Amino acid sequence: MVETGVNSMSILEKNCVALEKNNAGLAAKLRSYEGDGIELERAKNGTFTFRYDNRLFHSSYDPEREAAAQVEEIIGRQPDWVVLFGLGCGYLLDLLIEKKQNKVIIFEPCMEILGSVLNSIDLTDSLSLDTVFLSDEMEGVAYFIRNNVDGLEDLLSYQTGPYLVTFPKEFLDFSNRVRNAHIAAQVAIVTDVDSRLPWIDNYMANCDAFVDNPAVDALRDRFKDMPAIIVGAGPSLGKNAHLLKEYRDKVVIIAAITAYKPLLEFGVVPHFLIAAERIDMPEYFTDTETDKEVRLILAEVSHPNLFARNARSKFVFFNAFISLSTEQLSIWGSDYFASIGGSVTTAGLDMGLMFGCDPIVFIGQDLCYIDGKTHVKGGVYQDQFLTIDEENSTVNIEQDYITHDENVNNEVALLWLKGLDGSAVPSKFDWVTFHQWFETYMVFMVKEGMEQKVINATEGGAYIEGMEHTTLADALDRYATKDIELDSIIDSAVKERKTANLPALIKSLVQMRDGLLYIKKQAGQLQKEVGKMKSAYKRSGLTPALIKNTNKIMAREKALFDRTAKAPFLWEALSAYTLELKEHLRDDRPESHKEQFETEVKVIEKTYSEIEEMTVRLLPLFETAIDRMERRQASGATEQEQ
Amino acid sequence: MTDIYLDNSKIDFEDTERDATVGELLTEIDSELKAGRRFVTKLLIDGEEQTDFRSDSVTSQLILGCKELKLFSDTVEAIALNGVDVIERYLNVVLENIDQSVKAFRAGGAEVGASSVIVIDGMTEIAKTMHELTKGGQNYDITVFRADPTPYYERILESLEALNKAKDSMDSILMADTLEYELRELVVEMLGALFTEKGS
């Protein structure tokens, strides 16, 4: 019989085909892998085991029995996701899947092991699942966690003895990254819920500014092959910022808003300042003539007062995580979403590359505590006092903030990153998130074949995998060799920019307003239904009819969600408020039917009352924006007629 | 004046120089008991049982410094039976320790080193005690174990050597395999072969 198709494939090829869906890069790497391998041995029961570094990695008698005991331990802890450090021969993975623990992330630190195992053992059933991710890159795992693991989900890391003993450094690094990625996902939920409404407030208030100022992609490819210096406000900025002064005409200086005043102290006026603060922070500016020399690159959700500042010019950038922006981006005359890693310097990298700059050089990007400081001197922090408690993994930061009468004290979790010299440096969750984003971005650049160079010339702090590390003096010496006609480049870019489409904008705003009115009505009716159920429950307790009544509520919720799902903004507004509802549904504490009913009624009532409040708050914003845009359109039409 | 009892009967012991030690007393009483195939098995000093009464810290004490010394004796047969019983019970404890260690090794727990030391030390102690019991039994013409334990000593040693080697190379899986599939089987075999079946 002639074997065809999948059957005739080698085991390696079958595994690679299964891997392709989730990790095509690894599949390609395995297909072309020509490095050393390991020798697989037969255990006494006929299955595979192997030795690496003179150590057995599975039982030489019965590896499956061994894995069964491990799986029992894992399943007993009821995790949502299992993160395995080490694939081994895949017994644990296969058994986890067999036991319906389908969400598994595996990092294999050794390519020799991975290549040999996938060459000889068919793991296609497990590897082909959407929820199984195998990688030989730590950053790949961190990226997968950030993008696929809900911050509310539990994540259990598991490793067997041989992997722990053979790869201790990798394990430590891996554990930190997994922990950091998961914390980032958890923090994202909190930030999202906390920030959502102020973002919408700001966006709606900034509509006029989006019409008046160009989108940042007006500068796309305008600085081709010119070096950009992205300036963060880390403590190491003090080491080299002064060098920029004499190179100002030969580089494009893009600074985080927090680095603006410190740079001025070194006699350097940046060309661009990036800001995305949702609250007004005038303390970042000098309120002098110098402010008028810089151009602002502002997020659409920045506080309106930032757009009102007297600067040389302003550019707007839009974010894909703001659903208003995803719906209206083209209306504003933009087709660029900044890839945001949570900080303005991460956004700066993406913008610098979009501008065509090469290389992109970072300074002041420490991403860790240096000498008891979080920021360079001269900014908004007059003084800082840090206490690092390694035993309890916390950092206490007491800060003398420029606008506060008294010192501000807060405690944050202590996390660790790899430093420039390879040793661990103390960090915190937001920096760790930025760091992970940078490393993911570097991997992305390689995969996309982007040839622009990215250099970390911070001269201190965290090591960023994928970037070249050198001094600023060296980077300037090598790349800042020609004068840049910055003003004329910007002027011509602004002249040629796309403008906002007002009729389309008004139509979009009206649709959103109508959607909000629908949500308001449904939320009100849902509350009425719940009110009726509560009265009935008070009268006759939990009756079968009452339980059946909950179906009505579910049907109404479904209608509400179906309608809003079609409009990203409405969906986002709604989902931000249904978080508690989702948390409740996840909660599997044993409750009696009565307790369950009471809790459900309470959560639904609270959720939809908040949703109604949200619509009451947002509707006037839309009414005002529609009114303003209609007037602009009318005056524009009048101007044209004249 | 120190009151001295043997098996709850008061005895006289001459200590005219007032410098006799507990050790000297024990030697004298053991030598008297030997003819009747008995030995001192327990000692209480001023009401307090001395767990390791043949150690220097106890035997070097002056009798004069004690108010009361109570000694208890047993026959060689009873001592041997008791020893065998202790070994049997301890082997069962070793089995439990093996199971715990294997579980920890397989799971990659951090306590791997500590739990293996308990098993290795336990088996070494068992082998030594079995050897001494067998030798003592031979002296008094007593059959201590149901079968000759000598062939097991070598197998215990081999397993312990393999364990130590695996431990040195931090090979937790080899340790688990050795414990689970070699030493455990050996202990089960010893329990079946060397000891009288319970209830028979």
Model pLDDT for residues A164-209, shown as the tens digit of each residue? 889 988 887 788 778 777 766 665 555 555 667 788 899 999 999 9
Model pLDDT for residues A57-114, shown as the tens digit of each residue? 999 999 999 999 899 889 888 889 999 999 999 999 999 999 999 999 999 999 999 9
The set of long-range contacts for A534-538, using a CB threshold of 8 Å and a minimum separation of 24, is: A534/A601, A534/A605, A537/A597, A537/A598, A537/A601
Contact: A57, B109; criterion CB under 8 Å: no
A170 torsion bin: left (phi>0), alpha (psi -120 to 50), beta (else) = alpha
Give the model's confidence band at B110: pLDDT under 50 very low, under 70 low, under 90 confident, else very high. very low
Instruction: Provide the pLDDT for residue B115.
Output: 65
Question: Which residues of chain B make contact with A175, given a CB cutoff of 8 A?
Answer: none
Chains A, B: CB contacts within 8 A come to: 54
Instruction: Provide the pLDDT for residue A1.
Output: 37
Instruction: Provide the pLDDT for residue B144.
Output: 85
Residue A8 scores a pLDDT above 70 = no
Residue A161 has its nearest CB partner, among B112, B177, B181, at B112
Instruction: Provide the pLDDT for residue A399.
Output: 73
CATH number of B3-75: 3.10.20
Residue A319 scores a pLDDT above 90 = no
Instruction: Provide the pLDDT for residue A566.
Output: 64
**Nearest-CA distance from B183 to chain A in Å?**
14
Instruction: Provide the pLDDT for residue A139.
Output: 77
Q: Give the residue from A48, A160, A175 with the most B CB atoms within 10 Å of its CB, the best one to mutate.
A: A160
- Cα–Cα distance, A354 to A338 (Å, whole number): 9
Beta strand A381-389 with A394-401: parallel, antiparallel or unpaired? antiparallel
Residue B177 has its nearest CB partner, among A59, A159, A165, at A59
Of the candidate ranges A562-566, A605-609, B32-36, the one whose mean pLDDT is the lowest: A562-566
Contacts of A222 (CB under 8 A, 6+ apart): A355, A356, A489, A490, A493
Question: Which residues of chain A make contact with B108, given a CB cutoff of 8 A?
Answer: 159-164
Contact: A61, B108; criterion CB under 8 Å: no
Instruction: Provide the pLDDT for residue A582.
Output: 55
- Cα–Cα distance, A378 to A33 (Å, whole number): 52
Question: Which residues of chain A make contact with B177, given a CB cutoff of 8 A?
Answer: 56, 59-61
Contact: A60, B173; criterion CB under 8 Å: yes
Question: Which residues of chain B make contact with A159, given a CB cutoff of 8 A?
Answer: 108
Model pLDDT for residues A243-260, shown as the tens digit of each residue? 999 999 999 999 999 999
* pTM tops 0.95, yes or no: no
Q: Single out the residue of A91, A94, A84 nearest to residue A156, CA to CA.
A: A84
- What's the average model confidence in pLDDT over B136-155? 87
- Cα–Cα distance, A11 to A8 (Å, whole number): 9
Contact: B173, A54; criterion CB under 8 Å: no
Question: Which residues of chain A make contact with B171, given a CB cutoff of 8 A?
Answer: 54-56, 162
Contact: B108, A59; criterion CB under 8 Å: no
Higher pLDDT, A392 or A105: A105
Chain A residue at shortest CA distance from B109: A161
Model pLDDT for residues A221-230, shown as the tens digit of each residue? 999 999 999 9
Residue B20 scores a pLDDT above 80 = yes
Six-digit token string for B150: 């000598």
- What's the average model confidence in pLDDT over B57-78? 93
Question: Is B78-194 assigned to CATH 1.20.120?
Answer: yes
Contact: A163, B173; criterion CB under 8 Å: no
- Which residues in chain B (179-198) have CB-CB distances under 8 A to chain A? 180-181
Contact B116, B101 (CB under 8 A): yes
Residue B28 scores a pLDDT above 90 = yes
- Which residues in chain B (29-88) have CB-CB distances under 8 A to chain A? none
Question: Which residues of chain B make contact with A161, given a CB cutoff of 8 A?
Answer: 105-109, 112, 172-173
Question: Which residues of chain A make contact with B184, given a CB cutoff of 8 A?
Answer: none
Instruction: Provide the pLDDT for residue B19.
Output: 92
Give the model's confidence band at B37: pLDDT under 50 very low, under 70 low, under 90 confident, else very high. confident
**Nearest-CA distance from B133 to chain A in Å?**
35
- Cα–Cα distance, A375 to A450 (Å, whole number): 31
Question: Which residues of chain B make contact with A43, given a CB cutoff of 8 A?
Answer: none
Q: Single out the residue of B16, B28, B21 nearest to residue B6, CA to CA.
A: B28
Instruction: Provide the pLDDT for residue A581.
Output: 60
Residue A150 scores a pLDDT above 50 = yes
- What's the average model confidence in pLDDT over A604-628? 88
Asked if the C-beta of B112 comes within 8 angstroms of chain A's C-beta atoms, the answer is yes
Q: State whether residue A58 is helix, strand or coil.
A: coil
Q: State whether residue A387 is helix, strand or coil.
A: strand
Average pLDDT over chain A reads: 86
Six-digit token string for A207: 């509509």
Distance of CA B138 to CAs A295, B133, B144, Å?
Answer: 101, 8, 8
**Nearest-CA distance from B190 to chain A in Å?**
22
Instruction: Provide the pLDDT for residue A408.
Output: 74
Question: Which residues of chain A make contact with B106, given a CB cutoff of 8 A?
Answer: 59, 66, 69-70, 160-161
Residue B169 has its nearest CB partner, among A55, A58, A160, at A55
- Cα–Cα distance, B36 to A176 (Å, whole number): 71
Question: Which residues of chain A make contact with B172, given a CB cutoff of 8 A?
Answer: 55, 161-162, 165
Strand partners, A370: A373
Question: Which residues of chain A make contact with B109, given a CB cutoff of 8 A?
Answer: 161
Contact: A163, B109; criterion CB under 8 Å: no
Buried b (16+ CB within 10 A) or exposed e, A532-553: ebeeebeeeeeeeebeebbeeb
Higher pLDDT, B24 or A571: B24
Residue A57 has its nearest CB partner, among B107, B170, B173, at B173
Asked if the C-beta of B176 comes within 8 angstroms of chain A's C-beta atoms, the answer is yes
- What's the average model confidence in pLDDT over A503-517? 92
Contact: A161, B173; criterion CB under 8 Å: yes
Contact A253, A293 (CB under 8 A): no
**Nearest-CA distance from B123 to chain A in Å?**
23
- What's the average model confidence in pLDDT over B164-186? 91
Please give the single-letter amino acid code of residue B22.
Answer: V
Instruction: Provide the pLDDT for residue A3.
Output: 39
Residue A56 has its nearest CB partner, among B103, B174, B181, at B174
Residue ranges of the domains in chain B?
A: 3-75, 78-194
Chain B residue at shortest CA distance from A49: B173
Residue B114 scores a pLDDT above 80 = no
Contact: A70, B106; criterion CB under 8 Å: yes
Residue B200 scores a pLDDT above 50 = no
Residue B199 scores a pLDDT above 50 = no
Contact: B108, A161; criterion CB under 8 Å: yes
The CATH number for A10-187, chosen from 3.40.720, 3.30.420, 3.30.1380, 3.40.50, is 3.40.50
Question: Which residues of chain A make contact with B174, given a CB cutoff of 8 A?
Answer: 55-56, 60
- What's the average model confidence in pLDDT over A490-496? 94
